[in-house]
Amino acid sequence: MNRLSLVFSRGIARATEAALGPYQSAVIRIGFAGTWLLFLLREYPHRRELYGPSGPWGWRLAQQLVADNHAFSALLWSDATAWFECFYLLAILASAALLLGWRTRTASVLFMVGVLSLQNRSVFVGDGGDNVLHLMSFYLVFTRCGQVWSLDARRAARAEAARMRGENVADRAGPVLWAVLGLALVTATLTGRLDNGWLIPALLWTVWVVLGLWWLVGRRAKSPEPRILLDVIANVLHNGALLVIMAEACLIYATAGWYKIQGSRWQDGTAVYYPLHLDYFTPWPGLADLMSASGTIMLVVAYGTVMVQVAFPFTLFNRRAKNVLLVLMMTEHAVIAVVLGLPFFSLAMITADAVFLPTSFLRRLGDLAARARGRIVRSGDPLVPPPRSPEESTAGRVGFTA
């Protein structure tokens, strides 16, 4: 009994003392924000046909659908072209801010608003990758995904160094951004724009209030207890959200694999052959013909896909087996991106897979990137010192910043 109590107390301490998986959460932040940003930029010339006033799914049709399913879409607040153009630009800027880790908490909320609004505006545009982005954009709001590899982490490190020198550091951009977003929320609420559904409006107001509370506690609290309490709550939310993201990825692969098992085309090994001969999925006809020319290759790919997807959730308890299947799944998605012409679906799935990557591998990857950046910077200015290692940063110290 005492041993069980000890294990339980250690688990509670681990879940509350720190935000786990800082590198994994940074990878999924960069991956999902980068995927959505690249998609928005690629489709910029076609934005009005996909999500705007020139699309086949008209504004009134979208309004009727949203009124029935209570989905959130800020694009339906107005049918003006100027509003659509401004919102599309805002979605691009929010994705770029989240990618760079600038004001990560606020950027994650704006990123979620952009993803939900655009996808719910035209629900018949997209593929499985959009569904993954749709879910993950919501989960990212609860994570502390700017602990490393972000502008927030660099700003926190500089602020900590300044405090060690006895300097007073004032954050001016955060309160201004908080006030602007509060004004936008008040305006949207008073004009009835947030009346359709309650979940997203409640989340937006909660995040806004907590951001203000976090700043107030950091500036006015005379004792460390209120800040410690907010840190514990943020850590619990982060760790819970990270667990949900991992469970979601497992659920996607498990359901996909078990549904494939029930299909006759997957059972006889010919399922992969058919999409390779559809015009929509053949950006490189020669490559598709080369792969589908061998029945053995088609059989191995079909059976291998099913086995990997079904087995993956059960390999999480064995590090070596999990890492092998991660390599296989990421390779498979990279092949899908090239052969079937689904780059954004593949990027979304590879990012979802990345949450299971080992921390040691991610830290080595970060060190390589830092050294490469340092060489590039020093080649332009020999007086610039080399970048600091991740150990010298303040990972885990980035708070609930605006």
Tens digits of residue pLDDT in 213-233: 998 888 877 788 888 899 999
Query: Given pLDDT bands bounded at 50, 70 and 90, which one contains residue 402?
Result: low
Question: Mean of the per-residue pLDDT values for the chain?
Answer: 89
Q: In this model, does residue 397 exceed pLDDT 50?
A: no
**What confidence score (pLDDT) does residue 364 get?**
94
**What confidence score (pLDDT) does residue 335 get?**
93
**What confidence score (pLDDT) does residue 1 get?**
57
C-alpha of 32 from chain center: 4
Q: In this model, does residue 379 exceed pLDDT 80?
A: no
* 3-state class (DSSP) for residue 40: helix
> Is pLDDT larger for residue 394 or for residue 160?
160
Tens digits of residue pLDDT in 40-84: 999 999 999 999 989 899 999 999 999 899 999 999 999 999 999
Please return the burial class of 110, using the count of CB atoms within 10 Å of its CB with bins 0-12, 13-18 and 19+. buried
Over residues 267-284, the mean pLDDT reads: 89
Angle at 155 between CA 154 and CA 157, to 5 degrees: 65
Please return the burial class of 321, using the count of CB atoms within 10 Å of its CB with bins 0-12, 13-18 and 19+. middle
Measure the CA–CA gap between 103 and 105, rounded to whole angstroms.
Answer: 6
**What pTM does this model have?**
0.91
**What confidence score (pLDDT) does residue 382 get?**
52
Using an 8 Å Cβ cutoff, are 130 and 70 in contact? no
End-to-end CA distance of the chain: 44
**What confidence score (pLDDT) does residue 381 get?**
56
In total, the chain counts a number of residues equal to 402
CA distances from 234 to 16, 19, 30, 143, 154 (A): 8, 8, 20, 8, 20
Tens digits of residue pLDDT in 91-129: 999 999 999 999 999 999 999 999 999 999 998 888 888
**What confidence score (pLDDT) does residue 282 get?**
85
Please return the burial class of 94, using the count of CB atoms within 10 Å of its CB with bins 0-12, 13-18 and 19+. buried
Sequence-distant (6+) residues with CB within 8 A of 107 are 94, 97, 98, 101
Over residues 299-304, the mean pLDDT reads: 92
Tens digits of residue pLDDT in 253-272: 999 999 999 989 999 999 99
Over residues 369-375, the mean pLDDT reads: 84
* 3-state class (DSSP) for residue 47: helix
Longest dimension (CA), the chain: 73
Over residues 265-284, the mean pLDDT reads: 89
Q: Two tokens at 224? A: 């460390």
Measure the CA–CA gap between 234 and 142, rounded to whole angstroms.
Answer: 8
CA distances from 53 to 62, 93, 111, 208, 316 (A): 11, 21, 22, 31, 46
Query: Given pLDDT bands bounded at 50, 70 and 90, which one contains residue 392?
Result: very low
Nearest to 54 by CA among 89, 94, 85: 85
Query: Given pLDDT bands bounded at 50, 70 and 90, which one contains residue 380?
Result: low
Tens digits of residue pLDDT in 121-180: 998 888 888 999 999 999 999 999 999 999 999 999 998 888 888 887 778 888 999 999
Query: Given pLDDT bands bounded at 50, 70 and 90, which one contains residue 384?
Result: very low
